[in-house]
A and B are shown apart, each in its own frame.
Chain A
Amino acid sequence: GAGVSQSPSNKVTEKGKDVELRCDPISGHTALYWYRQSLGQGLEFLIYFQGNSAPDKSGLPSDRFSAERTGGSVSTLTIQRTQQEDSAVYLCASSLVAGGGTDTQYFGPGTRLTVL
C-alpha cells in the first residue's frame, strides 16, 4: 500500500513569506507526528495529532508555527513570516495508533525548506 507522502518535496522561499507543508498519512492511521531535521538540532518533535486533535504541541518553536489535521487524514504545517533558522527538512510520520511503542511510526520522505 501507499506510504506516507509529503508535498512539496522542496520549497525555497524568501524570508518573511508564509509556507504550507502537507502530509498525507497512511490510510487508517490515527496518530500523526511532525518532526524537523536540521544540521544543528538533529531530529526534533514538533506536534502530535490523535485524529483531528493535537494534544501535544510542545515542540512548536514559536507562535509562527501552526498545524491542523482534517478528516483524520491530511495534515498541514504552516509557518508564518519564515526566518532563515526555519530552514530544515520537515518530516511527517504516522502510526496506526499512538501506543506503547508497539505501533511503528512510518515516516514520509520529508519537505526540504530553504529560507533565503
Chain B
Amino acid sequence: GNSVTQMEGPVTLSEEAFLTINCTYTATGYPSLFWYVQYPGEGLQLLLKATKADDKGSNKGFEATYRKETTSFHLEKGSVQVSDSAVYFCALSDQGSNYKLTFGKGTLLTVNP
C-alpha cells in the first residue's frame, strides 16, 4: 500500500533561515505528490503539488521537486517568515487508490522573529 514518511519535527527556525522538510514515499503506482499546510486555527490548504517525475511545484516561495529515483518530495524555502509558522503535511494520491490522499504525520514549523 501507499505510505508517506516525513520528518516529524518540531522544527524551530529564526526568521530568514533556510527550511527543508524531508518527505519520502512508497507507492505501487505513479502517484501525484502534494504539500498541504495547516495554519493555526485554520483548515488544510494545498501549498503545492507535482504530478509527474521531475516536476517542481512552487508557491509562496516554497518549492518541492518530484524525485522518482529517490522517491522523495522535500519541501524547501530559502527564507522563512514568522507567518510561515504552521503544520506541513506531505501527501500522495494515485488512481489505484481512488485518488484519496495518504498523508505523512505532519511537521510543526515555528519561525521566531
Question: Chain A residues in contact with chain B, CB under 8 A?
Answer: 31, 33, 35, 42-45, 48, 55-56, 59, 91, 93, 95, 98-110
Contact = CB atoms under 8 A, between A and B. Distances in A.
B67 interface: no
11 contacts: A48-B98, A56-B97, A56-B98, A91-B44, A100-B32, A101-B51, A102-B32, A104-B46, A104-B49, A105-B101, A109-B43
Interface of B: 31-34, 36, 42-46, 49, 51, 89, 91, 93-95, 97-106
A101 B97 CA distance: 11
Given A101-B34, A107-B43, A33 B101 contact: yes
Contacts of B46: 104-106
B104 A101 contact: no
B93 A101 contact: yes
Contacts of A95: 99
Contacts of A45: 100-102
A104 B32 CA distance: 11
